[in-house]
Structure 1
Amino acid sequence: MNSDLKAAVLERCRKMEIPLVGIAGTDRWENPPFRPWMPEEFYPQSIFPGARSVIVIGLPIHLPVLETSPSIYYHELYKTVNTLLDQYTYRLASFLNDCGYPSVFVPRDGYGSIEVLRKNPVAFFSHRHAALLAGLGTFGVNNTLLTPEYGPRVRFGSVITAADLPPDPLLAENLCTRCMLCVEACPVGALDERDYPEGLTDKAACAENSAELARRHISPCGICIKVCPVGEDRRHYGRSTLAADGDPRHRRAREHVQKYGGL
């Protein structure tokens, strides 16, 4: 395995100010940590034959902005982070190609619009599962990946590469506290109180809600990740789980933002 190349990749990420980076060998898709698992066609080596490793990066969603969701503020932050993910993963793939290792970036979503998701609510590659296998977090009841640093308030992007890089260890601790705040807060009742993967999200209900928010120009929803108590970012911002509702200053800020920029 190429430890020197991994060190060079991590240094590139540091220079691009990417806070979360993990690496998984493609064999981990063939030996999943739980069942049921995804079909083989979704494995990185099925999408990019010759793949040996997947590099996953994560960028945080700033909690005070998310607390205004659904809003134009969160909508714009979401777009900004998505753009950065595509740019960073493209640059990492280009770096690896220049080093002689065939590599490709994977776009952060992999679907055209919410309307597409309403008809076929699956992307061709799961960054969340890649992040799990790269040791960046564990799944929560809300069907998102929870990280120690930011809870579920992270967006992920991936690079699939032929380079054989030393993998990072899986996260041993289950981060979900099973508080059920996400289940209770979901505006369309799309979440199940059972652990992932048994309690999968009602994707149809979630997509319908997202489509309505998109019509109003304030998608995505973000409710299930904003109420999650997991993550050091809460301490950083001095936010308890329901601080935005309990503190009049936060409530006024949220109500002000929600009045503008959307329908």
Structure 2
Amino acid sequence: MKQEIENLIHDFIANYQEKDDIKSSWKEPIIKYAAADDPMFGELKKAVSEDHLMPEDLMPGARTIIAYFIPFSKGIADSNIEGKYSSDQWAKAYIETNQLIADLNQHLKEKLSKKGYQASLIAATNNFDKERLISDWSHRHAAYIAGLGTFGLNNMLITEKGCAGRIGTLVTDLNIEASERSEQDKCLNKAGFNCSKCVDRCVNGSLQKDSFDRHQCYQLLSENDKIHPESELTDVCGKCSVDLPCSFSSPV
């Protein structure tokens, strides 16, 4: 069943970018799994928020969290290197990838249902408290628990294919063996090397070596939303995840 799920994800993404109305392109995804009863989910109430949901809150009888990383193509990432605001290509990829994740999770849910299993859908973005800017369900932290990667100085999850992309998660009552979780840092800075390029890349100073001002960061995201007046919310930036040693791979 695990291989069938991974084939479904790979095939869905490959076919999705062949659609005439899709402008973005993606690299092969990485897929990992976490046990719903992993004690680390309880730790998220301390690390993220006391209101952070548990897998059981999203779906009673939860057994597994499927976590996957969809890397952007190099062209999308490179388009976002210059300037203060997000490139049109990056902003478009943000919207299209969020919809891809929503459609993919719906597809997986339907396939699992035919096999007698259930799944709970979680939005790829905007599932956060608008005052505190803290998520009710952190895809990045769930993906970390699944062994998808480790956190960088830029607060992004750095996977074996870097951090320039989007993360999706799905909670299901299908029991899949949890992936191994490595504690080896993939961030050069956290691994003890002299690197803070993501800090240098931050265009409004919200990211520092020893701090992160999420409200100042979101102010810039909101400015980008006004600059990219698509029909959907485009609160995006991405400057701190491109043109880095960890944009497309784990440099450690």
Q: Distance in 1 between matches of 2:198 and 2:62?
A: 36
**Partner deviation per Cα, 1:105-144 (whole Å, 9 max, x = no partner):** 21111449xxx74x34123211101111111110001111
Cα pair 1:56 1:158 within 8 Å, conserved? yes
Q: Which runs of 5+ in 2 are unaligned?
A: 15-27, 81-85, 190-194
Bigger helix share: 1
Q: Residue in 1 aligned with 2:149?
A: 137
Which amino acid letter does the alignment assign opposite residue 169 of structure 1?
Answer: E
Q: Residue in 2 aligned with 1:102?
A: 118
Q: TM-score, normalised by structure 2?
A: 0.78
Q: TM-score, normalised by structure 1?
A: 0.75
1:228 offset after TM fit, Å? 2.3
Q: Residue in 1 aligned with 2:165?
A: 154
Q: 1:148 to 1:215 in 2, by over 3 A?
A: same
Q: 1:185 to 1:107 in 2, by over 3 A?
A: same
Number of matched pairs: 221
Alignment of 1:1-263 (within 5 A): 5-16=1-12, 17=14, 19-28=29-38, 29-30=40-41, 32=43, 36=47, 38-39=49-50, 41-69=52-80, 70-111=86-127, 117=130, 119-149=131-161, 151-178=162-189, 179-194=195-210, 199=211, 201-217=212-228, 219=234, 220-232=236-248
Partner of 2:79, secondary structure, is: coil
Q: Distance in 1 between matches of 2:67 and 2:186?
A: 19
Q: Which runs of 5+ in 1 are unaligned?
A: 236-263
Which amino acid letter does the alignment assign opposite residue 55 of structure 2?
Answer: P
Partner of 1:170, secondary structure, is: coil
Cα pair 1:110 1:125 within 8 Å, conserved? no
Q: Residue in 2 aligned with 1:251?
A: none
Cα pair 1:90 1:104 within 8 Å, conserved? no
Partner of 2:121, secondary structure, is: strand
Q: 1:158 to 1:53 in 2, by over 3 A?
A: same
Q: Distance in 1 between matches of 2:123 and 2:47?
A: 25
Identical columns (%):
25
Cα pair 1:63 1:233 within 8 Å, conserved? no
Which amino acid letter does the alignment assign opposite residue 4 of structure 2?
Answer: A
Q: Distance in 1 between matches of 2:215 and 2:9?
A: 36
